[in-house]
Amino acid sequence: MLVVRPIKKSDYDALHTCAVESGHGFTSLPVNEELLTNRITHSEYSFSKESVTEPGDEGYLMVGFDTETGEVAGTTGIEASIGWDVPFYSYHISKVVHSSNKLGVNNVVKLLTFGNNYTGCSEICTLFLRPDFRKGLNGRLMSKSRFLLMAEHPHRFSKTIFAEMRGVSDADGNSPFWQWLQDHFFSIDFTLADYLTGIGKKGFIADLMPKLPIYINLLSQEAQDVIGVVHENTRPALKLLENEGFTNRGYVDIFDAGPTVECDLRNIDSVRDSIRAKVVIAEHSSSQAYLMGNTSFENFRAVAAKGAYDLASESVILSSEVAEALEVNEGDFVRLLAQ
């Protein structure tokens, strides 16, 4: 059984393995010991932080582990409020019309405008599932466990939730979009720029990034073709978020031009559709599968398992194995999301 829980210091080796396996373009998991260690430390601090009434500098990082082998299957995370301590940049796609009635000419031209419009929003990030575990409900659990946490503790997160999706790059980490920026404004390749951003050294962005809007039709055709296009390996994650109600509102990543998608917290399907139920521990024959999370924050646990929900009593029968994985007792509450 796969169980999602907050990361801890002893998970460092597993997190490093995920960073290596995630490959180029996965900015939130750079292969850097200091940064990965700091992320774990900050996550432990964030999960233990009490009396949180609004989102702040908290960063929540979780892992999914196999209860049979103890092996870590992947990671998933949430940043409660981004852009305050370290600037968060994005491009917004807008339109201008160049028109001349005298000449009978009307041209609609798209622009990329540099900005910090997601400052203060909560970001879902660092979703990576190792190849051997990409089966069953594991991917859904790793992604949607974050929404179960948000549904139970909404005051810790902002009204707007967003996610940056990895854009197009090849096996060597070359991005067609970045190649154009590199040729005209930068002198470093995509993998280095991506790595520097991942370790928090973003000063070069403000120093070198063009401040005025960029006319998209002046970019190379290769760069134009990948604006707003997701990396092949990220398509399932994007589809899952789109099914949750996330949509692209014209924002793209400044390095690889991958799409950014967003949704109001209250309108995320898994937040809106999840329900609370009192735990009854007993054997059952139900075939209904649920994503389940306990109601604790510091000791959050989530699994994908079968349960027998009774609407009249607002209770759910769980096997002892599932109850143990969720660290709940008879009479405790869990949050359920039917699959």
Upper half-sphere CA count for residue 339 (Cβ side, 13 Å): 20
Q: Per this entry, what is the length of the chain? A: 339
Q: Please state at what angle helix 190-198 crosses helix 176-184, rounded to 10 degrees.
A: 90
Question: How far, CA to CA in Å, does 243 sit from each of 122, 179, 236, 291, 294?
Answer: 19, 32, 11, 16, 24
Which letter does DSSP use for residue 309 in this model?
A: E
Q: Which residues lie below 8 Å from residue 61, measured CB to CB, with a gap of 6+?
A: 6, 7, 39, 40, 43, 75, 76, 77, 126
**Parallel, antiparallel, or unpaired: how do β-strands 315-318 and 275-281 relate?**
parallel
92 is catalytic: no
DSSP secondary structure, 31-94, as one string: S-HHHHHHHHHHHHHHHH--S--S--S-EEEEEEEETTT--EEEEEEEESS-SSSS---EEEEE
Q: Hunting for tokens 């009434």 — which residue is that?
A: 53
Please identify which of the residues 16, 184, 231, 284 carries the catalytic annotation.
231
8 Å CB contact between 23 and 164? no
Which tokens is 189 given? Answer: 């390749």
At 207, phi and psi to the nearest 5?
-75, -40
Catalytic residues: 231
